[in-house]
Amino acid sequence: MGVDTLREADDGPRSKRAAILGAAVEHFGEVGFEATKWSEIAKHVGIGQTALYHYFESKAHCLLTVMRIGLHNSDEAFRTATADAPSAHEALRRAVRSAYDISDLEVRQNRILQANIALLVSERSSEREEAERLACRELVATIERNWTELLRRGMDSGEFARRDPQLLARTLLGTIVAVWRWYRPGGETSLDEICELVTHCCVRIVTP
Amino acid sequence: MGVDTLREADDGPRSKRAAILGAAVEHFGEVGFEATKWSEIAKHVGIGQTALYHYFESKAHCLLTVMRIGLHNSDEAFRTATADAPSAHEALRRAVRSAYDISDLEVRQNRILQANIALLVSERSSEREEAERLACRELVATIERNWTELLRRGMDSGEFARRDPQLLARTLLGTIVAVWRWYRPGGETSLDEICELVTHCCVRIVTP
DNA sequence: TTAGCAAACTGAATTCAGCTTAGTTGTCGG
DNA sequence: CCGACAACTAAGCTGAATTCAGTTTGCTAA
Point out the nucleotide closest to A50 (alpha carbon to C1′): C10
pLDDT of residue B7: 72
Q: CA at B122, C1' at C11: how many angstroms apart?
A: 34
> If you count them, how many residues does chain A have?
208
Q: Could you give phi then psi for residue B86, rounded to 5 degrees?
A: -70, -20
Model pLDDT for residues B82-108, shown as the tens digit of each residue: 999 999 999 999 999 999 999 999 999
Among the partner-chain residues A118, A119, A197, the one whose CB lies closest to the CB of B171 is: A197
C-alpha–C-alpha distance, residues B101 and B64, integer Å: 23
pLDDT of residue B84: 93
Mutate to test the interface with B, among A173, A205, A207 (most CBs of B within 10 A): A205
Model pLDDT for residues B188-200, shown as the tens digit of each residue: 999 999 999 999 9
Distance from CA of B18 to the nearest CA of A (A): 26
DSSP string covering B4-43: GGG--TT--TT--HHHHHHHHHHHHHHH-TTTS-HHHHHH
Question: Which residues of chain A have a Cβ shorter than 8 Å from any chain B Cβ?
Answer: 31-32, 34-35, 115, 117-119, 121-122, 163-164, 167-168, 170-171, 173-175, 177-179, 181-182, 189, 193-194, 197-198, 200-201, 204-205, 207
Beta carbons of A205 and B207 less than 8 Å apart: no
DSSP string covering A16-82: -HHHHHHHHHHHHHHH-TTTS-HHHHHHHHTS-GGGHHHH-SSHHHHHHHHHHHHHHHHHHHHHHHH
Q: What is the mean pLDDT of chain B?
A: 94
C-alpha–C-alpha distance, residues A46 and A36, integer Å: 16
Model pLDDT for residues B119-170, shown as the tens digit of each residue: 999 999 888 999 999 999 999 999 999 999 999 999 999 999 999 999 999 9
Burial of A109 (0-12, 13-18, 19+ CB in 10 A): buried
Among the partner-chain residues A35, A174, A189, the one whose CB lies closest to the CB of B179 is: A174
pLDDT of residue A6: 79
To which H or E segment does residue A135 belong? Answer: helix A127-156
For residues A25 and A6, the answer to whether their CB atoms sit within 8 Å is yes
Beta carbons of B32 and A170 less than 8 Å apart: no
Contacts of B204 in chain A (CB under 8 A): 204-205, 207
Beta carbons of A197 and B167 less than 8 Å apart: yes
C-alpha–C-alpha distance, residues B141 and B135, integer Å: 10
Point out the nucleotide closest to B55 (alpha carbon to C1′): D7
Contacts of A205 in chain B (CB under 8 A): 200-201, 204-205
Beta carbons of B193 and A115 less than 8 Å apart: no
| Segments of chain A with pLDDT less than 50 | 1
Among the partner-chain residues A115, A179, A204, the one whose CB lies closest to the CB of B204 is: A204
Model pLDDT for residues B13-70, shown as the tens digit of each residue: 678 999 999 999 999 999 999 999 999 999 999 999 999 999 999 999 999 999 999 9
E strands, A55-197, are: none
For the four alpha carbons of B153, B156, B162 and B163, in that order, the dihedral sign comes to positive
Q: What is the pTM of this model?
A: 0.93
C-alpha–C-alpha distance, residues B28 and B41, integer Å: 10
pLDDT of residue A188: 95
Beta carbons of B174 and A174 less than 8 Å apart: yes
Q: Is the CB of B125 under 7 A from strand D?
A: no
CA angle B159, B160, B163 (to 5 degrees): 150
